[in-house]
């Protein structure tokens, strides 16, 4: 029943002289996605963006930028390398490759170090691990070319582990529906004006993309009892958003621990459950991009249930 | 500079009709140790026990019992299987194989699941994982034969991660000596009447065995800055011991987090640094053997330093 929910992520911005990434078309992106051992399930589009729901997470494509998240044992570094080969390294303005804390890293087809070695054969940049190896940690590689436009962007990620309570029970139940999960997550209320595209996996698991103009949200739920993981990510500026998005999700899903990763994003823990912030880190890229990582743990003692093997 | 300090451990008791394990001699044990890709550095003996210091941890041999700990990328399951092959499965009264939380499990030559599969081809038993995969956790396999004598035994393990402060600085320094580490750990004061055998590794790292009658202590120190690990283990009954052994070690080494594992051992957190016990578990084996696991975290926020890769 184990499934590695935690994602790898690649975000790339191309230079103004490069062809529009959207104009490359679905076949181009199908090939890129296939390099990661994933496939496209569906797509929604608006004037700014194409949002693909994948068999294992999501792909968003704007004119000059794309963002791809994949989970499980996908090989996202292969997809990133294929993209660089297709468009040429000189067309890449900025690239950032991340790997989040994995439950069972030894089941992955490569380590971050191996991914990094291969990426550096194509493109230069700096890489860091943030957080201790025996606790939640995060790997990030960013190219070191000068670039300016991307630095105004903000990205906020909330990664939740060991969800509990009624919502977790529902997400593990056989009677759930996509509409039921939308209601549970209060998507329509929380993100008015967004268009959503979601998918309920068998026996369970849920993914949703939402877009409104050039803004996106994406949520991926792996509810498995002993290795649950839910990720939320958005390029909305949550410090200006009228709702406490992270606090609401934490209240609904009641995770035992969670990480917050921000790229040029503010930090606001108001409304979080009582917690200990075990560690946090602030890191600036060469271009002035500010990356923040914080690892939170609910302030409670857990009676652990042995898992029989 | 990375070294996996966390140990695998096998403990075996043989039936009364089996040959004395001590009488099998050093060559026998050299072969067993070699199966794990380790070697014997030195040995001390008394009327009850032979205590071997290994290139990667320790081996203790009594008349009817042996205990072997190995760290790094050693293959302890191979040593356990070789032992069963040599003495015969029917000579084994009780066996317990453990793997502790590893920093980089993907660098190990096998997973616990793989070890378990091979062990179960030779001997039956029950296996458990205690603790979440994204936090400190512990694997244990115990045979399920009826047996009684071993149940009076007690074992206490203290596993410390991210040691800090003056002691940690000394253990990472170039000027250290074995005698200096003994004093730092207050071994002579803390364990009067014990005979010690220790070894200082290059560029650093320290192991010590201590024996007194049929009682042992063993300490293994991997002080590496970003992946430090120190283990202490004993069959002393610490609830009856005149000194607060765990509290003293925690005070000296000031680890950011630590685990306590007890086999028929009492729990006493008096003198521990201010902490949150994130989780604990009590598990009884079929023979009534009581295994307790607790994962502690210092009650403080840590500013994480990114590690450049």
User: What's A309's DSSP letter?
Assistant: -
What is the pLDDT averaged over residues A202-225? Answer: 96
- Put simply, the answer to whether A303 touches B281 (Cβ < 8 Å) is yes
Per-residue pLDDT at B106: 85
| B207 has catalytic annotation | yes
Give me the helices (H) in A36-153, please.
76-87, 112-119
Residue A121 reports pLDDT greater than 80: yes
ipTM: 0.87
Task: Give the structural domain span for A49.
Answer: 8-298
Size of interface A-B (CB pairs under 8 A): 125
Of A102-106, A252-256, B123-127, B221-225, the poorest mean pLDDT is in A102-106
Find the catalytic residue in A6, A58, A207, A294.
Answer: A207
pLDDT band at residue A124 using 50, 70 and 90 as cut-offs:
very high
Domain-located, residue A260: yes
Give the model's pLDDT for residue A102. Answer: 87
Q: Which strand (E) or helix (H) includes residue B84?
A: helix B76-87
On the question of pLDDT at B83 being above 90, the answer is yes
Residues of A within 8 A of B269 (CB-CB) are none
**B contacts of A141 (beta carbons < 8 Å):** 309
Residue A71 annotated as catalytic: yes
Task: Tell me what pLDDT residue A32 has.
Answer: 97
Question: Is B7 among the catalytic positions?
Answer: yes
Nearest-neighbour CA in chain A from B216: distance (Å): 28
Query: pLDDT higher for B151 or B40?
Result: B40
Of A105, A297, A308, the CB nearest to B105: A105
Q: Which residues of A touch B109 (CB under 8 A)?
A: none
Angle at A17 between CA A14 and CA A19, to 5 degrees: 70
Mean pLDDT for A260-285 is 91
Residues in chain A: 309
State the pLDDT at residue B102.
87
Sheet holding B155-161, edge to edge: A302-303, B275-284, B290-298, B257-263, B155-161, B229-234, B215-222, B206-212, B195-200
Check if B166 is active-site: no
Task: Quote the pLDDT of residue B268.
Answer: 87
Listed residue (A91, A89, A154, A97) closest to A123, CA to CA: A89
Q: How many domains does chain B have?
A: 1
pLDDT at A150 over 70: no
Closest partner residue to A106 (CB to CB) among B105, B139, B309 is B105
In a domain, B308, yes or no: no
The one catalytic residue in B35, B49, B71, B142 is: B71
CA of A178: how far to CAs of A80, A171, B45, B139, B292, in Å? 31, 10, 67, 37, 41
pLDDT of residue B147: 79
Of B113, B280, B304, the CB nearest to A131: B304
Q: What is the mean pLDDT of chain A?
A: 94
- Among partner residues B116, B130, B276, which is closest to A306 by beta-carbon distance? B130
Across the range A165-172, mean pLDDT stands at: 97
Structure tokens at A302: 């857990």
Our answer to whether residue A207 is catalytic in this structure is yes
- Domain of residue B195, CATH code: 3.60.90.10
CB contact under 8 A, B309 and A135: no
Judge whether B257 counts as a catalytic residue: no
**Test the B interface: residue of A284, A300, A309 with most B CBs within 10 Å:** A309
pLDDT (tens digit per residue) in A85-98: 999 999 999 999 99
Greatest pairwise CA separation for chain A in angstroms: 57
Q: What is the mean pLDDT of residues A169-198?
A: 96
CB contact under 8 A, B276 and A299: yes
Query: How far A270 CA sits from the closest chain B CA (Å)?
Result: 17
pLDDT surpassing 80 at residue A57? yes
Whether B48 is in a domain gets the answer yes
Question: Would you state the torsion angle of the CA atoms of residues B164, B168, B170, B172, taken in this order, to the nearest 10 degrees?
Answer: -120
Helix (H) or strand (E) holding A172, with range, is none
Nearest to B218 by CA among B244, B241, B199: B199
Minimum-distance CB partner of B279 among A111, A293, A301: A301
Cα separation, B8 vs B73, whole angstroms = 10
Q: Does A1 reside within a domain?
A: no
A282, with CB counted inside 10 A (0-12, 13-18, 19+), is middle
Residue A46 clears pLDDT 90, i.e. is over it: yes
Which of A104, A127, A134 to mutate against chain B (most B CBs within 10 Å)? A134
Given pLDDT bands bounded at 50, 70 and 90, which one contains residue A149?
Answer: low
Cα A59 to Cα A15: distance, rounded to the nearest angstrom: 20
Domain annotation covers residue A110: yes
Position B150 pLDDT exceeds 80: no
Tell me what pLDDT residue B149 has: 63
Answer with the residue of higher pLDDT: A95 or B150. A95
Nearest to B128 among A104, A256, A306 (CB): A306
Answer yes or no: is A240 within a domain: yes
Question: Which residues from B are below 8 Å from A126, CB to CB?
Answer: 308
Under the banding of pLDDT at 50, 70 and 90, the label for residue B151 is low
- Report the alpha-carbon distance of residue A35 to residue A68 in Å, rounded: 12
Whether residue B304 is contained in a domain is answered as no
Cβ(B237)–Cβ(B154) below 8 Å: yes
pLDDT tens digits along A218-259: 999 999 988 999 999 999 999 999 999 999 999 999 999 999
Region A193-209: mean pLDDT is: 96
Tell if the CB–CB gap between A135 and B130 is shorter than 8 Å.
no
Mean pLDDT of A8-13: 96
pLDDT of residue A289: 81
Name the band, by pLDDT with cuts 50, 70 and 90, for residue A151: low
Residue A152 has pLDDT above 80, yes or no: no
Most confident by average pLDDT, A7-11, A107-111, A286-290, B266-270:
A7-11
- Candidates B134, B164, B279, B302, partner chain A, best to mutate (most A CBs within 10 A): B134
Asked if residue A306 belongs to a domain, the reply is no
Residue B104 has pLDDT above 90, yes or no: no
The shortest C-alpha distance from A227 to chain B (Å) reads: 7
CB–CB of B305 and A281 under 8 A?
yes
What mean pLDDT do residues B183-211 have? 96
Q: What string of DSSP letters covers A225-288? A: TTS-EEEEEE-S-TTTSSS-HHHHHHHHH--SEEEEEEES-----TTPPSEEEEEEEEEE-TTS
Instruction: Give the distance from residue B93's alpha carbon to the nearest chain A alpha carbon, in angstroms.
Output: 22
Q: Model pTM greater than 0.90?
A: yes
């Amino acid at each position: 029943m184990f499934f590695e929910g935690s994602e790898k992520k690649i975000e790339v911005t191309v230079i103004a002289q490069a062809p529009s990434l959207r104009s490359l078309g679905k076949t181009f992106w199908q090939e890129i996605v296939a390099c990661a051992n994933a496939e496209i399930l569906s797509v929604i589009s608006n004037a700014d963006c194409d949002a693909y729901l994948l068999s294992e997470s999501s792909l968003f494509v704007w004119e000059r930028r794309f963002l791809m998240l994949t989970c499980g044992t996908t090989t996202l570094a292969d997809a990133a390398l294929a993209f660089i080969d297709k468009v040429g390294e000189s067309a890449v303005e900025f690239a950032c490759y991340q790997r989040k804390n994995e439950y069972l890293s030894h089941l992955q087809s490569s380590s971050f170090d191996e991914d990094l070695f291969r990426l550096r054969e194509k493109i230069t940049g700096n890489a860091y691990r943030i957080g201790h190896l025996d606790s939640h940690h995060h790997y990030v590689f960013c190219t070191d070319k000068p670039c300016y436009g991307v630095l105004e962007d903000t990205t906020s990620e909330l990664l939740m582990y060991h969800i509990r309570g009624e919502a977790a029970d529902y997400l593990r139940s056989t009677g759930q529906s996509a509409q039921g999960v939308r209601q549970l997550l209060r998507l329509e209320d929380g993100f008015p004006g967004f268009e959503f595209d979601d998918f309920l996996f068998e026996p369970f698991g849920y993914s949703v993309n939402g877009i409104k103009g050039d803004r996106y949200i994406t949520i991926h739920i792996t509810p498995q009892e002993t290795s649950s993981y839910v990720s939320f990510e958005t390029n909305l500026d949550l410090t200006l958003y009228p709702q406490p998005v992270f606090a609401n999700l934490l209240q609904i899903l009641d995770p035992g621990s969670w990480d917050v990763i921000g790229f040029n994003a503010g930090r606001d823990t108001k409304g979080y459950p009582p917690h200990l912030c075990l560690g946090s880190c602030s890191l600036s890229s060469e271009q002035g991009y500010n990356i923040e990582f914080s690892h939170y743990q609910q302030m409670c003692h857990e009676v652990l249930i042995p898992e029989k093997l």
